[in-house]
Amino acid sequence: MTDKEIEDAFYTNLEFGTAGMRGILGAGTNRMNIYTVRKANVGFAKYLLTKPNAKEKGVAIGYDNRHMSYRFAMESAKVLATYGIKSFVFESLRPTPELSFAVRYLKCAGGIMITASHNPKEYNGYKVYWEDGAQITPPHDTGIMAEVQAVTDYADVKTMDKLEEISN
């Protein structure tokens, strides 16, 4: 990497916006990687825990065919599990509308879709859905963003060690 590429990868944190976050895959705090996905999940989990029955209702998680989508979906479930929130992870690739349906059908507290939609192939994304199956809107977006921004040390983010533990 050149000095300019290193600076771009680390000069800021990848922003968690209204519907979630998306960015170029790669190393750095300004990139989509397992660490930025884990951080986003900590914020989402902490915000969900302010809702009654969020642990029991759980979160539906879908993913598309972009590079790292399955891994990001599994990392999401592992972080949520550390907060006692169950996850319903699709067995295979799914379109975004199916995630919205699953959130409503399963009566989940929320949902996560790993996709970068129309962005170039170098990108991936993390979109958050509310219990109504729609992308998050105010006041939930700002509440989740505040929780994500409160995570200041990536080393403090905990995940389940084994995927088998998620289903227990």
CA 5 to chain centre: 25
Q: Which two three-digit tokens encode residue 139?
A: 């006041």
The single residue listed with the structure tokens 């990108």 is: 123
Active site residue 100: no
Q: Which of 69, 92, 100, 117 is an active site residue? A: 117
Asked whether 24 and 123 are in contact (CB, 8 A), the reply is: yes
Sequence-separated (6 or more) residues with CB below 8 Å from residue 126: 20, 21, 22, 32, 37, 40, 72, 76, 112, 113, 114
Kindly provide the residue ranges of all beta strands, DSSP E only, lying in 46-167, ordered along the sequence: 59-63, 87-89, 110-114, 123-130
Active site residues: 117
